[in-house]
C-alpha cells in the first residue's frame, strides 16, 4: 500500500465494512451508508463492503459480499454472512481497494468485519455499536478473537453505553464518537397534512421494527387505552416493518385500533416529513439501545420526544431537558408522560428549543471531523512504527503501534 500525499487535508482511500445485511437495513447500516457519503463529500474515496442479496438496490459505493442468513442476537435478528467463499470476496475487495485505512463496524460479530480483520495488513479503525449489560456470547467469543483484536489501531464507540460494553467484555478502551445525523435534512423537512394534529386530535408517532419486542411497541399499545381515555381524539402513527408485530398489536388494541394507523415501512423522506408533522414522537424501547439515532432525527425535525429512560436515551435527551422520560417498560408511566406532554404546550416548546441546539453535536459535519481525526491518528502511528521497524515480518508486527489502555482510541 502506498500512502497518498501528506498532511491532514490529503484525500484518503477508506474501506468500510458493515457486518449486517442491507436487505433489511437498521441503525448500523444507515450509519455506515451516511458515514461513507459524508467522507466522500469531504473529498475522500470510499468503498463499502456489506452483505446483500443480488436484487437488493445499493448505492454505487457499496459492494455486496453475498447473501446473509438471519441470526438472533441482543434481542434482535441480525443478517450475517461468513465462510471461506465470503472470506475470499473480502480479500479480493481489500486488495482491489488498496486502502489507506480500513474501518470495521462490530468487528467481533461473526460476519464480514471479522473476516476483514483477519485478512488485512493496513491500519484498522473499529467502531463498536452494541450496548448490553452482560453478554455470555461476547464473553465466550473473547478468547477466540483476542489476538485478532490486537490488530485494531483505533477504537470508536458510538456512545458511553457501547464503550462500557467494550471495556467490560473485551477490554481496552475507545473514544466516544456518536452516530451522525444530517440535522438540516430533518430540520428542513416539510410537514405533511396527513400526519399533522390539532389540539383535539394530536398525533403521536412510533418508528421501529414491529416484531422486535425490545423496540417497545407492546408497551405503547398497552398505554394507548389510558391515553385515549383522557384524549379521545389522539391518533397514533406506527411506522416500521413486521407483520407479526402489527397483527399482535391490532389484536391487543381491540376497539382502540381505529385510532392507530399502521404505515408500514417508510422512506427516509417520508420519515423526515412524519417527524416534522407530529405532536409527539414516542420511543418506548426496553433495552439493547446504544445510542438512539431516531431520537436525534425526531429532535432535528422539531418533534417533541417522549422516551424510556434508558441510559443512552437520557444522554441523547440531555437528561430530560430535550425530551420527556418515563420508566422503561412501564405503560402506565408512558401514558402519564404522553398526557403530561400533550397538556403542556409551553413545556413541549421549551424542550424542542433545547433539542434544536443539542442535536448540532450529532450532525455529520461534526461527527466526520472526529472520525477523520481518528484516521489521522492511526495513520500517523503506523508511519511512526514503520520508521522504527520497517520490517513487515514478525518484528514489524510486534512493534506496530497500538493505542494504550485508556487512551481513548
Structure confidence at residue 74 as a pLDDT band (50, 70, 90): low
Residues 147-159: tens digit of each pLDDT: 778 899 999 999 9
In this prediction, residue 220 carries a pLDDT of 98
Helix, coil or strand: residue 105: strand
Which CATH number is associated with domain 13-180+363-398?
3.40.50.2000
Output helix, strand, coil percentages for the chain, rounded to the nearest 5: 45, 15, 35
User: Is 100 in contact with 379 (CB distance < 8 Å)?
Assistant: yes
User: Is 40 in contact with 33 (CB distance < 8 Å)?
Assistant: no
In this prediction, residue 394 carries a pLDDT of 39
d(CA 389, CA 172): 24
Q: What's the alpha-carbon Rg for the chain, to the nearest Å?
A: 22
Residues 169-210: tens digit of each pLDDT: 788 899 999 999 999 999 999 999 999 999 999 999 999 999
Q: How much is the average pLDDT of 279-287?
A: 97
DSSP 247-299: HHHHHHHGGGGGGEEEEES--HHHHHHHHHH-SEEEE---S--SS-HHHHHHH
User: Is 381 in contact with 401 (CB distance < 8 Å)?
Assistant: yes
d(CA 101, CA 155): 13
d(CA 9, CA 43): 9
Fold of 183-361: Rossmann fold (3.40.50)
d(CA 244, CA 240): 12
Q: What does the DSSP 8-state code read for residue 174?
A: -
User: Is 288 in contact with 73 (CB distance < 8 Å)?
Assistant: no
In this prediction, residue 4 carries a pLDDT of 44
Residues 13-60: tens digit of each pLDDT: 999 999 998 888 888 999 999 999 999 999 999 999 999 988 899 999
d(CA 261, CA 205): 10
Q: How much is the average pLDDT of 284-294?
A: 91
The arrangement of strands across the sheet holding 175-176 comes to: 62-64, 45-50, 13-17, 101-105, 124-128, 154-157, 175-176
Number of CB atoms found within 10 A of residue 200's CB: 9
The three state secondary structure string of 122-156 is CCEEEEECCCCCCCHHHHHHHHHHHHHHCCCCEEE
- The Cβ-side half-sphere exposure at 283, using a 13 Å CA radius, reads 28
247 has a pLDDT exceeding 60: yes
d(CA 221, CA 37): 37
* Cα 376 → chain centroid: 23
Q: What does the DSSP 8-state code read for residue 23?
A: S
Q: How much is the average pLDDT of 213-231?
A: 97
130 has a pLDDT exceeding 90: no
Residues of the chain with CATH 3.40.50.2000: 13-180+363-398, 183-361
In this prediction, residue 79 carries a pLDDT of 64
In this prediction, residue 143 carries a pLDDT of 62
Amino acid at each position: 500500500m502506498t500512502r497518498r500525499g501528506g498532511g491532514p487535508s490529503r484525500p484518503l482511500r477508506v474501506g468500510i465494512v458493515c457486518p449486517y445485511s442491507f436487505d433489511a437495513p437498521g441503525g448500523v447500516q444507515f450509519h455506515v451508508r451516511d458515514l461513507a457519503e459524508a467522507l466522500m463529500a469531504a473529498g475522500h474515496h470510499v468503498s463499502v463492503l456489506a452483505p446483500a442479496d443480488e436484487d437488493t438496490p445499493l448505492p454505487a459505493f457499496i459492494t455486496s459480499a453475498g447473501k446473509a442468513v438471519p441470526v438472533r442476537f441482543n434481542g434482535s435478528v441480525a443478517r450475517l454472512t461468513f465462510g471461506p467463499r465470503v472470506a475470499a470476496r473480502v480479500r479480493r475487495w481489500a486488495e482491489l481497494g488498496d486502502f489507506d485505512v480500513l474501518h470495521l463496524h462490530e468487528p467481533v460479530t461473526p460476519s464480514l468485519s471479522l473476516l476483514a480483520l483477519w485478512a488485512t495488513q493496513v491500519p484498522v479503525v473499529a467502531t463498536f455499536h452494541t450496548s448490553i449489560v452482560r453478554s455470555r456470547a461476547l464473553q465466550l467469543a473473547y478468547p477466540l478473537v483476542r489476538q485478532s483484536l490486537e490488530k485494531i489501531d483505533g477504537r470508536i464507540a458510538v456512545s458511553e453505553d457501547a464503550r462500557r460494553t467494550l471495556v467490560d467484555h473485551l477490554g481496552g478502551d475507545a473514544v466516544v464518537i456518536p452516530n451522525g445525523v444530517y440535522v438540516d435534512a430533518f430540520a428542513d423537512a416539510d410537514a405533511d397534512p396527513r400526519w399533522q394534529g390539532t389540539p383535539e386530535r394530536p398525533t403521536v408517532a412510533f418508528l421501529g421494527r414491529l416484531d422486535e419486542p425490545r423496540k417497545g411497541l407492546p408497551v405503547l399499545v398497552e398505554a394507548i387505552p389510558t391515553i385515549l381515555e383522557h384524549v379521545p381524539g389522539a391518533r397514533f402513527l406506527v411506522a416500521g416493518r413486521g407483520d407479526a408485530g402489527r397483527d399482535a398489536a391490532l389484536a391487543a388494541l381491540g376497539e382502540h385500533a381505529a385510532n392507530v394507523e399502521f404505515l408500514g415501512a417508510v422512506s427516509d423522506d417520508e420519515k423526515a416529513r412524519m417527524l416534522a408533522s407530529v405532536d409527539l414522537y414516542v420511543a418506548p424501547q426496553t433495552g439493547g439501545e446504544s445510542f438512539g439515532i431516531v431520537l436525534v432525527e425526531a429532535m432535528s425535525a422539531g418533534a417533541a420526544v417522549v422516551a424510556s429512560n434508558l441510559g443512552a436515551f437520557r444522554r441523547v435527551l440531555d437528561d430530560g431537558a430535550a425530551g420527556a422520560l418515563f420508566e422503561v417498560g412501564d405503560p402506565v408511566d408512558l401514558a402519564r408522560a404522553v398526557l403530561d406532554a400533550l397538556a403542556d404546550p409551553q413545556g413541549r416548546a421549551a424542550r424542542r428549543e433545547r433539542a434544536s441546539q443539542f442535536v448540532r453535536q450529532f450532525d455529520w459535519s461534526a461527527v466526520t471531523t472526529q472520525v477523520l481525526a481518528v484516521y489521522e491518528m492511526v495513520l500517523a502511528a503506523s508511519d511512526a512504527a514503520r520508521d522504527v521497524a520497517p520490517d513487515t515480518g514478525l518484528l514489524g508486527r510486534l512493534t506496530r503501534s497500538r493505542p494504550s489502555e485508556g487512551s481513548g482510541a
